[in-house]
Each structure stands twice: as structure tokens, then as C-alpha cells.
């Protein structure tokens, strides 16, 4: 059994071939937020704080929906591995139905943003601008979730070219519109942080339209004809139940980091700006192991659909090794030149000073973060979505958060103390999930069946 977890060179090559475009896509998605942060960071500390809070509000809402829609991974990948084209089509169409329902809900939840941010005691001068950022993001909620669903479907079918092209186009449009709308060029008003949100919204609409056009060949027979069975309530609920733990897992992650951002805001606009710079940078690097985990989820799902358990185990070992190596290298870079990264984001001295303290800490938790997200991907491909949820609830809320509060406020370490709680929480989550992969993949592996429950 131990030998079945030893990857071959063929397994590594297959993982790398699929991971590179998926990781590139993940980085591209993150770049929209990074570009917004960099552009707005050169306006003022207030606008940077507004964009940071607004982005966290939007992503905090979207986190659950993203996770719930990731149920597409095991359903479609395992069906594709079993060459069950009808199950693939039903899985994708049910994902789009759920995306529309969740997107409408999130759009409505954007409306009370100003009241929520005031209730969270954020800086009074920042709240109106942050709320405007959220409102300009609201029209993109449904299209963003539809794009995520189609992306997951295409990736599960091992077709990634259209996804990468749409992300590149979306980023180019976002960058150009940021220059126009944030600073007020070409006769446009200087909107600041809300202008960055509007740029991203336009970019997301473009990305969905392009993905439908560029992916039409791969999606032929999947989106059309529409299946009446895709609207079956019991099957939709079973699909949602697979995604629900993933949604809760992602919500725990988003709310943990979002809560720390709220607490950082209590130390002032410069503190939250520095916190967001460090978090944005760490999140950018996190996209690579997230891509590896997504690739592992797909390959494990295909292997289970093909009834090849040994292959699934080798994929898991390959993915964990690749994720750990990349994050170790990124940790070294962040530890060595933190100030250079901080200055790339903003020219505000107070923000640079705080970010330079936080970036090395981000480097330390990178390795644990990479391991836990890859392990989550492996388990997701096997249809085990509850373990990661449990690990996140226990690791972040019952361990990491109390440590953050104790160090940040009790020990008076400020925002630096808040970040050390990240390290403790992620270490616990990673340890649990890597162990769970070993146990889960050593047992019997069965295909997820939504039709029969």
C-alpha cells in the first residue's frame, strides 16, 4: 500500500501539464484584485483601505458560492473518467442553475454594505468609499459565478485553453479601465476605489461572453440541449450537499481572513492597508498550489471514474510534493525581500512599513497553506468534501482565531500578532488534511452518484 503512493515520472508530467494552465488561470483571477490594489494604492491610503474593505466584503460573500459550485469538480471529473457524457451534461447544467440562484442572492446582499461596515466599526472616512466599491461590484455577481461554473466544467474535462485566454483578456481590459476610471483619464471622472470595482465588473462580463464563444466546441452537447432532469429538485439538492461543505470551508477561510482584516482596521487605515498588501501578495502566491490542488482533484476524479485507485494515490503524492516545494521556494523569497514587494504595491510610507513586517510572516505560513489546499483538492476529487470543512472550522476558528486575538490585543503586538494566529491555524489544518488524504485514499474509492444519491 505504501508503494502505491509513490508517484511515477508519468504521474508528475500529467500533473504538471494540467497544473500549469489551471495555476495560470488562478493567478490571472487573482491579478485582477492585485492590479486594483496596486492602482488604487497610488491614489491615497484612504482609497487603498476602501478598495481593501470592499474587496473583502465581496469575496466574503462570494466565498461560499465559489465553494458550493466546486461540487462540479468530482461530479464532472468522475463522470468524464467513466465516459458518461450524459452525467457530465447534467452536472454542468445543474451547476449553472445553482450559480444563477446563488448569484442573485449575493447581489441582494451587496445592498446593505455601508450599514454592515459601519456596524463592524471600520474607519468612518473609509466606509462610504468601500460601500461604493461593493455596489459597483454587485452587477458582476451572477456572471462571475456562471463563469466559475463553466471554468470548473472545462477544467474537469481537461480543456483549459479557453479559460486562460478569457482571463488574459479580462485582465487587460481591467488594467486599461483602471487607468481610465481610477485616475480619471480620457475625460472620465476620477472615481478612485469604486472605479476599480467598475473596471472588474466590466472585465467579468467580458470573460463570461468570451468563454461561451471560445469554449463552444468543448461544451457542445453539454449546455445544449437543455435537460429537464437538470431542474430536478432532489438531484440539485444532492449536488448542493456535495458542494455545501466546500462552501462552508471557503467561507471559514474568507471570514477568518476577513475578520482579521476588520481587527486590523481597528489599528487605523495604514494598518489595514499594510495588512491588505501582505494578504494580497500571499494570496497571489497561494494561487499556484490552489491550481495544483484543482489539477489533483480532476486527475483523482478521472482515476476514480476509471476505477484505478492506485493512480489516484500516485496523483495525490505528486500533488503534495509539488505544492510543498513551490511554497517553500516562495517563502524564501518573501523572507528575503519583503520591503521590495511592499513598495511595488504602494508609495505610502506608513503602509510600506507595516506591510514589510507582515510579508515575512506570510512567507512562514505559505508552506502550510500550500499543503492544506492541495490536500483539500485531492479529497475533493475523491468526493470527500467534509474533512476539509471540519479541519477549517477547528483549525481557524477554535485555534487560529483565539491565538490571533490573544497576541494582537492581549499581548499588544497589534496587526503583527494577528498574523501569527494565521501560522498556528494553517499548521493545524495542513497536518489534519495530509493525514486524512493518507487514510481516505488507502480505503475503497467509489464514484459520486448524484442521480441516485
- Report yes or no: 316 and 441 within 8 Å, Cβ to Cβ: yes
Give, in order, the Cα–Cα distances in Å from 387 to each of 116, 240, 249, 301, 378: 31, 16, 9, 17, 11
R_g over Cα of the chain: 21
| Residue closest to 75 by CA, chosen among 234, 202, 242 | 242
Domain boundaries, the chain: 3-442
| Distance between CA atoms of residues 310 and 5, nearest Å | 7
453 residues of the chain, pLDDT tens digit each: 444 556 667 778 888 888 888 888 878 877 887 788 888 888 887 888 888 888 888 887 888 888 888 888 888 888 888 888 888 888 888 889 999 999 999 999 999 988 988 898 888 888 899 999 999 999 999 999 999 999 988 988 888 899 999 999 999 999 999 999 989 888 888 888 889 999 999 999 999 999 999 988 888 877 777 777 777 777 888 888 888 898 888 888 877 877 888 888 888 878 888 888 888 788 878 888 988 999 999 999 888 888 888 888 888 988 998 888 888 898 999 988 888 888 888 778 888 899 999 999 988 888 899 999 999 999 998 888 889 899 999 998 899 899 999 999 988 888 899 999 888 999 999 999 999 998 888 877 776 666 655
- Report yes or no: 377 and 352 within 8 Å, Cβ to Cβ: no
Identify the pLDDT of residue 102. Answer: 93
At residue 305's C-alpha, the angle toward residues 300 and 306, to 5°, is: 95
Q: What are 103-107's contacts with CB under 8 Å, separation 24+?
A: 103/65, 103/141, 103/142, 103/143, 103/144, 103/145, 103/146, 104/141, 104/142, 106/61, 106/62, 106/65, 106/141, 106/145, 107/138, 107/139, 107/141, 107/142
As given in the structure block, the three cell numbers for residue 32 are 485582477
Identify the pLDDT of residue 5. Answer: 59
| Distance between CA atoms of residues 174 and 432, nearest Å | 39
Length of the chain: 453
pTM of the model: 0.82
- Report yes or no: 265 and 53 within 8 Å, Cβ to Cβ: yes
Q: Which residue has the cell 476620477?
A: 190
User: Phi-psi bin for 271: left (phi > 0), alpha (psi -120 to 50), beta?
Assistant: alpha
Phi, psi of 187 (to 5 degrees): 85, -5
| Distance between CA atoms of residues 189 and 401, nearest Å | 41
Identify the pLDDT of residue 104. Answer: 95
Identify the pLDDT of residue 217. Answer: 86
| Residue closest to 206 by CA, chosen among 361, 411, 32, 381 | 32
Amino acid at each position: 500500500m505504501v508503494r502505491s503512493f509513490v508517484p511515477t515520472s508519468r504521474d508528475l508530467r500529467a500533473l504538471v501539464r494540467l497544473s500549469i494552465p489551471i495555476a495560470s488561470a488562478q493567478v490571472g483571477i487573482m491579478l485582477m484584485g492585485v492590479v486594483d490594489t496596486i492602482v488604487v494604492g497610488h491614489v491615497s491610503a484612504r482609497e487603498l483601505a476602501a478598495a481593501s474593505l470592499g474587496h473583502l466584503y465581496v469575496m466574503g460573500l462570494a466565498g461560499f458560492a465559489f465553494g458550493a459550485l466546486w461540487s462540479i469538480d468530482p461530479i464532472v471529473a468522475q463522470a468524464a473518467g467513466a465516459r458518461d457524457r450524459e452525467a457530465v451534461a447534467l452536472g454542468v447544467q445543474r451547476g449553472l442553475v445553482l450559480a444563477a440562484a446563488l448569484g442573485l442572492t449575493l447581489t441582494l446582499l451587496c445592498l446593505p454594505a455601508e450599514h454592515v461596515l459601519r456596524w463592524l466599526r471600520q474607519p468612518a472616512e473609509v466606509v462610504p468609499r468601500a460601500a461604493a466599491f461593493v455596489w459597483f461590484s454587485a452587477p458582476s455577481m451572477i456572471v462571475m459565478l456562471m463563469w466559475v461554473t463553466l471554468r470548473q466544467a472545462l477544467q474537469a474535462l481537461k480543456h483549459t485553453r479557453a479559460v486562460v485566454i478569457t482571463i488574459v483578456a479580462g485582465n487587460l481590459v481591467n488594467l486599461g479601465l483602471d487607468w481610465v476610471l481610477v485616475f480619471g483619464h480620457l475625460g472620465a471622472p476620477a472615481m478612485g476605489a469604486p472605479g476599480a470595482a467598475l473596471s472588474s465588473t466590466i472585465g467579468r462580463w467580458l470573460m463570461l461572453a468570451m468563454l461561451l464563444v471560445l469554449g463552444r466546441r468543448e461544451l457542445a452537447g453539454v449546455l445544449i440541449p437543455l435537460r429537464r432532469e437538470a431542474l430536478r429538485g432532489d438531484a440539485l439538492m444532492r449536488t448542493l450537499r456535495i458542494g455545501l461543505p466546500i462552501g462552508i470551508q471557503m467561507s471559514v477561510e474568507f471570514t477568518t481572513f476577513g475578520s482579521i482584516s476588520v481587527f486590523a482596521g481597528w489599528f487605523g487605515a495604514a494598518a489595514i492597508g499594510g495588512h491588505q498588501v501582505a494578504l494580497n501578495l500571499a494570496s497571489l502566491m497561494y494561487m499556484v498550489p490552489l491550481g495544483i490542488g484543482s489539477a489533483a482533484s480532476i486527475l483523482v476524479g478521472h482515476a476514480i471514474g476509471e476505477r484505478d485507485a492506485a493512480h489516484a494515490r500516485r496523483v495525490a503524492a505528486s500533488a503534495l510534493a509539488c505544492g510543498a516545494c513551490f511554497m517553500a521556494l516562495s517563502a524564501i523569497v518573501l523572507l528575503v525581500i519583503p520591503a521590495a514587494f511592499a513598495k511595488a504595491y504602494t508609495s505610502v510610507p506608513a503602509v510600506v512599513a507595516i506591510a514589510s513586517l507582515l510579508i515575512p510572516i506570510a512567507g512562514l505560513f505559505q508552506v502550510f497553506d500550500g499543503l492544506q489546499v492541495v490536500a483539500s483538492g485531492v479529497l475533493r476529487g475523491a468526493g470527500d468534501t467534509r474533512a476539509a470543512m471540519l479541519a477549517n472550522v477547528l483549525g481557524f476558528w477554535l485555534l487560529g482565531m483565539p491565538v490571533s486575538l490573544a497576541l494582537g490585543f492581549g499581548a499588544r503586538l497589534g496587526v503583527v500578532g494577528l498574523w501569527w494566529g494565521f501560522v498556528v491555524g494553517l499548521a493545524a489544518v495542513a497536518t489534519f488534511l495530509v493525514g486524512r488524504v493518507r487514510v481516505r485514499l488507502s480505503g475503497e474509492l467509489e464514484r459520486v452518484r448524484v442521480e441516485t444519491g
